């Protein structure tokens, strides 16, 4: 039986996050601490129209739909434009106004480039970008721009199911 | 490790369909012939506003998102209101106008009740109703009214992943 | 001062309606009886996807937004396709399900053509079509397909204002 | 003949604007310089979710729908919350990202209150607020929160029609 998979097969290992000024969490978030969970990483900018109309509302829906034990949503403010306009107080006000409850950090700026560290490591093309990381830390989806809810839901659901099977197998 | 499942556990066996005048298929569809696939059964009526605005567009999105080898979408016209207004030519025109490509049958009417056979077997509360049936023929979700794309996608994705695991296990 | 008008200038006199089986009214509606009011004529078909998703909801919004003394909304079922599937019982069920409260008639069929009488008189290109008729009985807008709410609102508002001015002038 | 008006009757004279750091205009905008035109004043904040999802897109639609000779759209950034997060560079980036082309100024802050000057003069309740000012400088609508396109369009259309009649009368 040759069945098409709902989610892409393993590609590469997800680079670690390098971010500061985290909100909605007591301490900086590292992917290394999230093994065993599916992670949805949403890179955005407060002053990016598609981030505000699509990326952020979808991140919030994912956070509200799944148990955080199964699926952890992380926001990353990848400031690569409008550097003069941005500061952590802008992000703080945004998080308050949009009632975001998942952890959100600011991507670490680089001295020699307008592109911040994590954005460069992931070779993101802009904002919003979404990265789906499985329970073993591998990238299973990486997109730029709007993402369809039904398809994304199916991919997340398949990864949760997969990670539960892995957990059972490890325990056996 | 005690993990919340994305999709509900097995409840009961899905009753067989009893329908006539099928469109988009050479012969009547039976669930018995679809073992090994996830089935999304969408009960609707052409003259039901929520069916037309929510149920049918979502059924079409599911049909377009998944491989039919993985997920088979079935439409069932469950005529329980406006009997005088409905006839197969209405459904035929509707399928043409809304460009529906998945198999659609008309639920078998009963002599002694306005509720047709399959609708009664499933104890559906109205239209649109959605039933999610796993690859072994068990009902895993049964809802009346609008359904969220992200959550439904996750449930379908988990069932596809599960059925692939079952298929691998059977083959081993 | 040379100011662009919000609504198109008078073009031609609106042909009279020729329809039967009216709903939501005690007697057939004639434009001749509606002088002094702005009329919004919406031609649609129950089995036309754009009529159901755009034309009919907009007609209902117009009916709910304006006083019928100012703006009278009329529906016309212009059956030019799927003749075998349509009958007055289908329209009756549709009006019930979509909770339409404005007068709706069925365009009079012609023997020698699939195009019904009123549709032909107006040279409508299909459904949904919208015709905006001023208080003196002249056509001020005639479109096929989706219509923007803001622009249409402005045109209706300008016509109501214009007709009030005409009424005051006549009374003086 | 006693006809309901589409737009509210004249209430009070519109207070003058007091704003700085204007964008999309060579010099500060004063209502006194806009007599003869209908003015739509939209007060908003970049870090207000309803401003971004409703108020600003509607302002842009109005700007795109009407001739600026007829209807002038003005944006006013009424900073009454998140003062620490806001500066003109944030607004500049926002205007660029959302491709706004109508004049936008920053409401003049007050020393003794978090409410800026113009917002206080108009007794606005928050953002987004919309004020509709007729060609003689009177307030005809003043709302807080989302506004329906069809009804707002009708009110603007009626005011444009009214102002054209006034202009003709003045010229006669």
Q: Per residue in A110-169, pLDDT tens?
A: 999 999 999 999 999 999 999 999 999 999 999 999 999 999 999 999 999 999 999 988
3-class secondary-structure state, position B112? coil
pLDDT over 70 (residue C1): no
d(C-alpha C96, C-alpha C92), whole Å? 6
Give the number of other Cβ atoms within 10 Å of residue C12's Cβ: 8
- The residues, any chain, with a CB within 8 Å of residue D141's CB and separated by 6 or more, are D7, D8, D130, D131, D132, D152, D155
Token reading at C96: 């019930």
Average pLDDT over residues C90-119: 97
Strands A38-44 and A129-133: what pairing? antiparallel
In a domain, D5, yes or no: no
Q: Could you tell me the two tokens for D51?
A: 């401003």
Site of tokens 């073009």: C11
C3 pLDDT above the threshold of 70: no
What do you get for the CA distance between the two ends of chain C, in Å?
Answer: 26
Rounded to whole angstroms, what are the CA distances from D79 to A13, A48, C8? 44, 20, 40
Which has the closest alpha carbon to A39: A61, A16, A72, A11? A72
Q: pLDDT grade, residue B172 (50/70/90)?
A: confident
> Which residues lie closer than 8 Å to B10 by C-beta, 6 or more apart?
B134, B136, B138, B140
CA distance A19 to A77: 9
Mean pLDDT in residue range C90-102:
98
In a domain, B104, yes or no: yes
Q: Output the CA torsion sign for C156, C159, C161, C167.
A: negative
Tell me whether strands A19-23 and A104-107 are parallel, antiparallel or unpaired: antiparallel
The whole-number pLDDT of residue C2 equals 40
**Is the model's pLDDT at A5 over the cut of 90?**
no
Name the interface residues of A facing D (CB cutoff 8 Å): 46-49, 52-53, 81-82, 84-87, 89-90, 92-94, 96-98
D35, D37, D38, D42 alpha-carbon torsion, rounded to 10°: -80
Residue A164 lies in a domain: yes
Stretch C1-14: mean pLDDT, rounded? Answer: 73
Mean pLDDT calculated for residue range C48-63:
98
Band of pLDDT at residue C37, cut at 50, 70 and 90: very high
pLDDT < 70: residue spans in chain D = 1-4
Tokens of D148: 């329906």
Number of other CB atoms surrounding residue A49 within 10 Å: 15
**Residue B65: what are its φ and ψ, rounded to 5°?**
-90, -35
> Residue A32, SS3?
helix
On the CB side of A159, how many CA atoms lie within 13 Å of its CA?
31
Closest CA to C150 of D66, D51, B107: D66
Q: Determine which helix (DSSP H) or strand (DSSP E) holds D41, and give its type and residue range.
A: strand D38-44
Does the distance separating the beta carbons of C7 and D61 come in below 8 Å?
Answer: no
- Minimal Cα–Cα distance from B166 to chain C, Å? 41
Contact assessment for residue B123 and residue B35, using Cβ atoms and an 8 Å cutoff: no
In a domain, B12, yes or no: no
- Confidence class for position C170, pLDDT limits 50, 70, 90: confident
Residues in chain D with CB shorter than 8 Å from the CB of C158 are 157-158, 160-161
Asked whether residue C50 carries a pLDDT value surpassing 70, the answer given is yes
A156 Cα to chain B: minimum distance (Å): 6
C to A contact (≥3 Cβ pairs closer than 8 Å) = no
D83: phi > 0 → left, psi -120 to 50 → alpha, else beta; which?
Answer: alpha
Number of domains in chain A: 1
Average pLDDT over residues C118-130: 98
User: C10-16: long-range contacts (C-beta < 8 A, 24 or more apart)?
Assistant: C10/C134, C10/C136, C10/C138, C10/C140, C11/C138, C11/C139, C11/C140, C12/C138, C12/C139, C13/C137, C13/C138, C13/C139, C14/C39, C14/C41, C14/C131, C14/C133, C14/C137, C14/C138, C14/C139, C15/C118, C15/C121, C15/C122, C16/C121
Is B172 or B92 the better-scoring residue by pLDDT?
B92
C145 vs C43: CA distance, rounded Å: 10
Token pair, residue D169, equals 């009368």
What's the DSSP call for residue D51?
A: I
Give the mean pLDDT of C23-36. 97
Q: DSSP letters along D79-140, please?
A: --S-GGG--HHHHHHHHHHTT--S-EEEEPP-SS-SS-HHHHHTT--SSSEEEEE-TTSBEE
Q: Determine, yes or no, domain membership for D14.
A: no
Tell me which residues of chain C have a C-beta less than 8 Å from any C-beta of chain D.
1, 3-7, 36, 61-62, 65-67, 69-70, 148-158, 160-165, 167-168, 171
Strand ordering across the sheet containing D104-107: D19-23, D104-107, D71-77, D38-44, D129-133, D139-144
Residues of A whose CB is below 8 A from D85: 87, 89-90, 92-93
The two three-digit tokens of residue C90, written as one number: 């289908």
The separation between CA B90 and the C-alpha centre of its own chain, rounded to angstroms, equals 20
Per the CB < 8 A criterion, the answer to whether D132 and D118 are in contact is: no
Residue span of the structural domain in which C123 resides: 19-171
Beta carbons of C129 and C143 less than 8 angstroms apart = yes
What's the full length of chain C, in residues?
172
CATH number at residue A96: 3.40.30.10
Looking at beta carbons, which residues of chain A come within 8 Å of B149? Answer: 149-150, 153
Helix (H) or strand (E) holding C77: strand C71-77
Model confidence, pTM: 0.94
The pLDDT score that the predictor gives to residue C6 is 85
**With left for phi above 0 and alpha for psi between -120 and 50, is residue C32 left, alpha or beta?**
alpha
* Number of residues in chain A: 172
User: Contact C156/D151 with Cβ under 8 angstroms?
Assistant: no
Between the alpha carbon of residue B132 and those of residues A8, A152, A164, C101, the distances in Å are 23, 18, 21, 37
C48 interaction partners in chain B (CB closer than 8 Å): 97
What pLDDT was estimated at residue B4?
Answer: 53
Beta bridge partners of A71: A38
* Per-residue pLDDT band at A80 (split at 50, 70, 90): very high
Q: Which residues of C touch D168 (CB under 8 A)?
A: 1
Asked, for residue B13, whether it belongs to a domain, the answer is no
b/e string for B94-131 if b means 16 or more Cβ within 10 A?
bbebbebebbbbbbbeeeeeebbbbbbbbebebbbbbb
Pick from A25, A19, A2, A37: which is nearest to A101 by CA?
A: A25
Provide the pLDDT for residue B6. Answer: 85
d(CA B70, CA C169) in angstroms, rounded, equals 71
Note the helical H segments in chain C: 49-50, 56-65, 88-97, 117-121, 149-171
Pairing of strands B19-23, A139-144: unpaired
Mind listing the pLDDT tens digit for each residue in B112-128? 999 999 999 999 999 99
**Does any domain span residue B7?**
no
| pLDDT at residue D8, rounded to an integer | 86
Q: Do chains B and D touch (3 or more CB pairs under 8 A)?
A: no
On whether residue D2 sits in a domain, the answer given is: no
Tens digit of pLDDT for each residue in A19-59?
Answer: 999 999 999 999 999 999 999 999 999 999 999 999 999 99
Q: CA D128, CA D144: separation in Å to the nearest integer? A: 6
pLDDT at residue number D172: 76
How large is the average pLDDT for residues B141-167? 96
Disruptive mutation site among C93, C106, C114 for chain B (greatest number of B CBs within 10 Å)? C93
pLDDT of residue C4: 53
CB contact under 8 A, A97 and D53: no
Question: In terms of C-beta density within 10 A (0-12 exposed, 13-18 middle, 19 or more buried), how is residue A36 classed?
Answer: middle
Q: Quick count: other Cβ atoms within 10 Å of Cβ C106?
A: 21
Token representation of residue B168: 């691998």
What is the distance of C-alpha A92 from the center of its chain? Answer: 18
Q: How many residues does this entry show for chain D?
A: 172
Share of chain B above pLDDT 70, in %: 98
């Amino acid at each position: 039986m040759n069945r098409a998979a709902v989610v892409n097969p393993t590609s590469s290992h997800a680079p670690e996050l390098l971010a500061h000024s985290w909100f909605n969490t007591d301490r900086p978030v590292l992917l290394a601490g999230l093994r065993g969970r599916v992670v949805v990483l949403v890179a955005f900018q407060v002053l990016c129209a598609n981030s505000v109309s699509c990326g952020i509302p979808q991140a919030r829906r994912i956070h509200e739909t799944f148990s955080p034990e199964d699926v952890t949503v992380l926001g990353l403010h990848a400031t690569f434009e409008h550097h003069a306009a941005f500061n952590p107080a802008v992000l703080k006000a945004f998080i308050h106004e949009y009632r975001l409850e998942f952890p959100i950090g600011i991507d670490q700026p680089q001295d020699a480039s307008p592109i911040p560290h994590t954005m460069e490591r992931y070779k993101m093309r802009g904002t919003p970008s979404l990265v789906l990381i499985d329970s073993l830390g591998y990238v299973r989806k990486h997109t730029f721009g709007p993402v369809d809810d039904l398809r994304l839901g199916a991919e997340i659901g398949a990864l949760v199911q997969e990670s539960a099977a892995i957990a059972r197998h490890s325990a056996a």
